[in-house]
Structures are given as C-alpha cells and as structure tokens.
Amino acid sequence: MSIYDFNAKTINGEEVSLEKYKGEVLIIANTASKCGFTPQYKDLELLYKKYKDRGFNVLGFPSNQFAEQEPGNSSDIQKFCEINYGVTFDLFEKGDVRGKDAQPLFKYLSEEKEFKGLDLNHPSGKILNAMLKEKFPETLVGNGIKWNFTKFLINRDGEVVGRFEPTTEPLDMEEEILKLL
C-alpha cells in the first residue's frame, strides 16, 4: 500500500487520485489558518518553489479539528493562503485528520509513521506539550495527529519515510527532502 491508493478532494471540490503525484517527493501536512504554526505556510511554499522543478510537491489538508483554528470554508481558506503566504502548492478540502472520522489518507499516514513525541528541547514543543496535557490529553495517546502542521515526508514510490511534528519547521526538513530528490 502507498499514498497512491487514496483519493482526495481538492479545495475546489475536484476528486483526484493521489497517483497524480506518482514519482514526486511530497510533504503532506494538515494545516490551519488561525494557529500559532500557521506561518509555516511561508516556508512550505518556499520549499515548494525551490524544488518543484526537481519533482517535489507540497499537499496541504486544512482541518478544523484542533481548537477550531480553521473555521473558514474552502474559498476563505484558499484566499487566506494566497493573500497571506502566496501559497501556490495544492490545497485540499477541509476535513478531519484524526479519530474515527479522519480522512483515510491521514489514518494511513498515522499508522505508517508513529508518534515519537514532541521535541521538549524546543520552546514551542514544551508549550504545545503542556497545552495538550492540560486541555486535550486524549490527543497525546496513540499515533494520531496531535496538532496542526504535522508533516509527513513521502518518497518517490509513495512510501511514508518521515513524520515531523508541528514544532519542526519546514526548512529543518530540507536535508531529508534533498536526500530523496
């Protein structure tokens, strides 16, 4: 099984097979417009523009599951991303990324790469961990997505080769991306 076995709806409502991305190195991230990690859109776009000609792509999947930080509709989300961060990589319809109603792709991603903890040496890792323990302790159990901007690195064969929690900045993934290009 690989990510190519899944379909997803684009932000414009078009059903696409992820086989469309066959042969590309990908970052698949769950996103939100009103999160402390939202500025990561900028660096995801930077990586996309820098490496798209070498077969690299970013797929953004908005979700309102974490403290309702993605309240907008598809049009609102797309406009926000374009105006504020110049996003040109592919965005998909808003949906759940954890739990029983999670999109099948995110169930698969979470099963393929387990949660190994937040980086508690990183200041935002400490803050996120404390907030989750206090307000959303159930999210720390299991391998499900913990918060917005969890990023999965996919190789050219559609295999999940890395999981990066929200506290990992996209540019900190560049070395891993280059190994796959």
In the three-class reduction of DSSP (H, G, I as helix; E, B as strand; rest coil), residue 58 is classed as strand
Pairwise CA distance, residues 28 & 163, whole Å: 10
As annotated, the active-site residues are 35
- Determine the angle formed by the axes of helices 74-85 and 40-51, rounding to 10 degrees: 80
